[in-house]
Amino acid sequence: MRITELHIYHFKSIREIHLTEIENVLILVGQNSSGKTCILDAIRAVMGNYVIAPEDFNEKRQKIEIEAEIELDEESLKSLHARKIVSGYKRYEKWLADFGNKLPSWKDGRLRFTFQASPDGDIRYFDGVHKNNRYICQLLPEVFYLDSQRDIRQMQETILMFQEDDLLKRMRTGCCMFDSGKPCSHCFSCMGLIERKRPDEMNAFEAEKLLEYKLYQMNLDGFSRRVNRIFRRNSGRQEEICYELQCHANQIFQVETTVYNPNREYGMAVDQMGKGMRSIYILSLLEACMEE
């Protein structure tokens, strides 16, 4: 999935700008205050990761409009199908047909729509047929914005969630135990299956460790090894990135990340590293994610 075209109207300092034939990498070059950050914020707004503020409108308070074209290749479509995005059909052919019905502006592998924001706070995704197609925002990916401060927490948490196994992902979504495509209705039909097990055979510590191992730790260990291998290669240093799963009631399934220096025998939080080392860690994290 990638953005192939953007047409921005009345957003911040931009009166109108048209970007076409966007490739996998978009490099913006210009003087200070020339609108580079405005373009990035426009992309984030379309993807739902930027909240339109009153100061983003021009003096005439004109409606902000951002026309976008997004390419969806076969891999992206199958990923959306696997996650039951837009449609809940299990068979891919039926899902794809329903996908096309719900997104009429999807043609020839590309989805076209207009993000609209009005001064009164109304946000819409107009596709030429529906004034506000709610399915469009469901399939848009999360966008990460890294400024000079290198705040990595949001990006790291999202990437680490990709390493979770299916059961933990289902638990996070609050879906039905028997059908992941449906939300839990608290009918407790699953209790018959659960009550066949004997939790009294485990102590609390064993249960906590078993949960940690089965749901998360196997995937996290492998990912940790990849991150450290790439981090050492990129930085030329011997510190070790350590992930620790928190299972306390008020921090359950939160991952704490530290960098440990074996020579000095001390560790510190990753976000306390210098900007340069945080940049290297971000690069290592992304490379490890892309290796899969």
The encoded tokens of residue 229 equal 């291998």
Tell me how long the chain is.
Answer: 292
**Same domain assignment for residues 116 and 18:** yes
Is the pLDDT at 25 greater than 90, yes or no?
no
Please report whether residue 145 resides in a domain. no
Question: Given this model, what pLDDT does residue 237 score?
Answer: 86
Same domain assignment for residues 129 and 166: no
Which helix (H) or strand (E) segment holds residue 3: the answer is strand 2-11
Residues 120 and 46 in one domain: yes
CATH number at residue 99: 3.40.50.300
Helix (H) or strand (E) holding 170: helix 166-173
Least Cα distance to 253 among 171, 198, 193, 142 occurs for 171
- What's the token pair of residue 197? 């097990």
Q: Are residues 104 and 205 in the same domain?
A: no
pLDDT-based confidence at 12, cuts 50/70/90?
very high
Bigger pLDDT: 205 or 161?
Answer: 161
Domain identity same for 13 and 135:
yes
One domain for residues 128 and 157: no
Among 140, 106, 116, smallest CA distance to 62 is for: 116
Domain boundary among 139, 162, 177: 139
pLDDT value at residue 250:
45
Task: Let me know if residue 197 belongs to a domain.
Answer: yes
Q: Which residue has the higher pLDDT, 47 or 25?
A: 47
Regarding predicted confidence, which is higher, 166 or 108?
108
Same domain as 184, residue 95: no
Note whether residue 148 is domain-resident: no
Last residue of a domain, one of 139, 166, 188: 139
Say whether both 126 and 170 belong to one domain.
Answer: no
Cα separation, 286 vs 221, in Å, equals 16
Pair 133, 186 in one domain: no
Q: What is the pTM of this model?
A: 0.58
Cα–Cα distance measured from residue 290 to residue 194, given in angstroms and rounded to the nearest whole number: 37
Check whether residue 179 and residue 282 sit in a common domain. Answer: yes
Q: How many domains does the chain have?
A: 2
Structural domain boundaries enclosing 9: 2-139
Q: Are 6 and 22 in contact (CB under 8 A)?
A: yes
* Per-residue pLDDT at 103: 95
Alpha carbon distance, N-terminus to C-terminus of the chain: 17
How does pLDDT run across 133-179, given as a tens digit for each residue? 999 988 888 777 776 666 666 667 666 655 544 545 555 555 665 66
Residue 33 lies in a domain: yes
Quote the pLDDT of residue 218.
Answer: 54
Query: Hunting for tokens 């409009």 — which residue is that?
Result: 65
Evaluate whether 262 touches 242 at the Cβ level (below 8 Å).
no
Residue 144: inside a domain: no
Is 257 buried (19+), middle (13-18) or exposed (0-12) by CB count in 10 A? buried
Q: Are 41 and 4 in contact (CB under 8 A)?
A: no
Indicate whether 283 and 183 sit together in one domain: yes
**Which tens digit of pLDDT belongs to each residue from 54-89?**
999 999 999 999 999 999 999 999 989 988 889 888
Inter-axis angle of helices 275-290 and 153-162, to 10 degrees? 20
pLDDT band at residue 112, thresholds of 50, 70 and 90?
very high
Long-range contact set of residues 118-124: C-beta below 8 Å, sequence gap at least 24: 118/63, 118/64, 119/54, 119/57, 119/61, 119/63, 121/52, 123/52
Question: In this predicted model, what pLDDT tens digit does every residue of 270-291 receive, in sequence order?
Answer: 878 887 888 888 888 878 877 7
Residue where a domain terminates, one of 139, 164, 190: 139
Residue 205's pLDDT is what?
A: 42
